[in-house]
Amino acid sequence: MTVPNDESAYDRVRWAQWQAGQARLPGLSRRGLLRLTAAGGLALTALGTAPGTASAAGPIVKPLPPEWFDVYGTNAETRWEAMSGQGYLTPVDRFFVRDHTSTPVLDAAGWRLRLFGSGLRGAPTAANPVELTYRDLRRLPSETITAFIECAGNGRSFFTSQQGQAVSGTAWKLGAVGVARWRGVRLATVLARAGLTRDAVDVLPEGLDPDYVTGGVNLGKVRRPLPVGKALQDVLLAYEMNGEPLPPDHGFPVRLVVPSWVGISSIKWLGRIEVSATPLVSPWSTQFYRLLGPDYPAEGTLVTEQVVKSAFELPWDATLAAGRRHVLRGRSWSGHGRIRRVEVSTDGSTWEQAKPVGSTADRGWLRWEFPWRPRTAGAYTVRARATDVTGASQPDVAPYNTQGYLFGAVVRHPVTVVPTA
C-alpha cells in the first residue's frame, strides 16, 4: 500500500477507508464504538464541549503562579508577559500544559515502550510486544531539536471575541504554545530497531495517562495515528526538555515531539506504539482535530500543520505611558517553516516592519521588536502580522470551524496609553 505524502490526500484516503470499514479504530470497546457511531456527527462535535474531569487535587503537578499562567480546568496557558525578558526558549516552568485528564507521575525504571503490530517484522502482538526500557532508549544515538509545541486550539477565544463565532473547547488566548530544546531518539531509529517493514502505513502512539471519558463515552487512551512518512521524517522520542529530564507535566519519562504539527500529535507519557500495515484511526483523527463547519466537507478536514501566528510579550490590556519610547517585543511562528517577515500596526491602518532579534530555529519561532512612542493617551490596538517562507501570512479573519482550531488571523491586542505623570 502506498502512503500519500500530501497530507490532505492522506486524510482523504484514510477517511474513505474508515467509512468503508477498511480502517481500524483500536482501543475502543465495541460498545463505545457503537455509541460513538450512533451519536452521529452533531453529537460528536458536542463531545468537545464536555467539561473537563479535573480532580480537586489539581490535574497539573507543577506550580501555576497566576503571573505566569491562566488556568482552565486541566489546562494552563502561558501569559505572554511572562515571556518578556526571557531568551529564545520557553522556560520549562512557564511552558503551557494541556492534559485531557491529569498528569500521571511515572517511574522511569519501571517504564517500558511497547511496540507491536502488523507493520513490524514478525507482527508482534500487543500481548507480546517488542519492549524498550528507559535505559535502552538513553543508550541509542540521540538528537537535539528546537521546536515549538502548540495546541491546535491556541487562539480559540478570538473566534468569539473578534469574529463573534461560537466554538467548542478551551478558550485559549495565544499562550498555548512554547518552544523548547528537545533531546531524545528519532522515532525512525526506534522503529527500525523494532523491525519496521515496507508494509507499514500508520503508527499509533498512545499515552499512559488515564482514559479520556467525555459525553459518557470512554474513548480510551489518548492516541492519534501518524502516517509513517511523518513518523520517519523528524519525529523524536524526547526524554529531555531544555537540558533537563522531562518534567511530569510534559510527559516524563518519554514523550513524542512531532515538530510543526498540532500539539495533539506529540503524545506525552508514551506507553505503546502500534505499527500497522493497515490504516488506523482514533477519535482524535475522526472527530477531534478535524476542521468542521459550513465551509468544509461534511466529514471535515484533518488538522496537521500549524498556521502562522504572532504574539506580543505584553499583558492583555497593557498600560503604557504616553510620550515615552517603548519597545514592543513579540514572537512569530509557523508550522510551514521559518518566519520571513513581521509587520506591526499601532494605528489600525498602517503597517511597518518589525526588527528581527537573533536567529530562528527551523521549527521554532522568530523574536522581533518594534519601537513605539504613543503621543497621546487613549485606547489603542496593536497588531502583529507575520509571513513565513512559504508566503503564508495572517489574514484579518480566520476561517470558521466549529471546534475553533487554527486561529491564524491577526490578533487585535488592546493597549491603554495613560498620560505621563
Binding site for ligand MTE (CB under 6 A): 95-100, 149, 151, 207, 209, 222, 250, 263-264, 266-269
Touching Mo ion, residues 141-160 (CB under 5 A):
151
- Spatial distance between the Cα atoms of 142 and 133, rounded to a whole number of angstroms: 15
User: Closer CB to ligand MTE, residue 186 or residue 250?
Assistant: 250
Contacted entry of ligand MTE, Mo ion, none for residue 411, CB cut-off 5 to 8 Å set by kind: none
Contacted entry of ligand MTE, Mo ion, none for residue 187, CB cut-off 5 to 8 Å set by kind: none
Shortest Å distance, C-beta 72 to Mo ion? 12
- Spatial distance between the Cα atoms of 19 and 24, rounded to a whole number of angstroms: 10
Residue closest to 356 by CA, chosen among 346, 345, 343: 343
Q: How big, in percent rounded to 5, are the helix, strand and coil portions of the chain? A: 15, 30, 50
User: Closer CB to Mo ion, residue 99 or residue 343?
Assistant: 99
User: Closer CB to Mo ion, residue 98 or residue 338?
Assistant: 98
Shortest Å distance, C-beta 209 to ligand MTE? 5
Contacted entry of ligand MTE, Mo ion, none for residue 96, CB cut-off 5 to 8 Å set by kind: ligand MTE
Q: Which residues contact 138 (CB under 8 A, 6 or more apart)?
A: 239
Q: Does 98 bind Mo ion (CB under 5 A)?
A: yes
How many residues form the binding site for Mo ion (CB under 5 A)? 4
Shortest Å distance, C-beta 322 to ligand MTE? 38
Give the residue closest to ligand MTE by C-beta.
207
Q: Does 177 bind Mo ion (CB under 5 A)?
A: no
C-alpha R_g of the chain: 22
268, three cell numbers: 506525552
Q: Does 175 bind Mo ion (CB under 5 A)?
A: no
Place of cell 513565513: 388
User: Closer CB to ligand MTE, residue 97 or residue 342?
Assistant: 97
Shortest Å distance, C-beta 155 to Mo ion? 12
Q: Taking the chain, what is the end-to-end CA distance rounded to the nearest angstrom?
A: 71
Residue closest to 143 by CA, chosen among 51, 228, 235, 80: 235
Contacted entry of Mo ion, ligand MTE, none for residue 388, CB cut-off 5 to 8 Å set by kind: none
Q: Which residues contact 136 (CB under 8 A, 6 or more apart)?
A: none
Contacted entry of Mo ion, ligand MTE, none for residue 207, CB cut-off 5 to 8 Å set by kind: ligand MTE
User: Closer CB to ligand MTE, residue 25 or residue 320?
Assistant: 25
Residue closest to 103 by CA, chosen among 209, 241, 229: 209
102 CA to centre of own chain: 17
User: What count of other Cβ atoms lies within 10 Å of the Cβ of residue 146?
Assistant: 18
Selected from 26, 117, 155, 263, the binder of Mo ion by CB under 5 A is 263
Contacted entry of ligand MTE, Mo ion, none for residue 100, CB cut-off 5 to 8 Å set by kind: ligand MTE
Of the listed pieces 80-88, 94-102, 196-204, 247-255, which binds Mo ion according to CB under 5 A?
94-102
8 A C-beta contact, residue 314 and residue 56: no
Q: Which residues contact 12 (CB under 8 A, 6 or more apart)?
A: none
Contact map string, positions 40 to 69, toward Mo ion, x by CB under 5 A = ------------------------------
Shortest Å distance, C-beta 406 to Mo ion? 12
- Environment class of residue 213 by beta-carbon count within 10 Å: exposed (0-12), middle (13-18) or buried (19+)? middle
State the DSSP code for 358: S
Binding site for Mo ion (CB under 5 A): 98, 151, 263-264
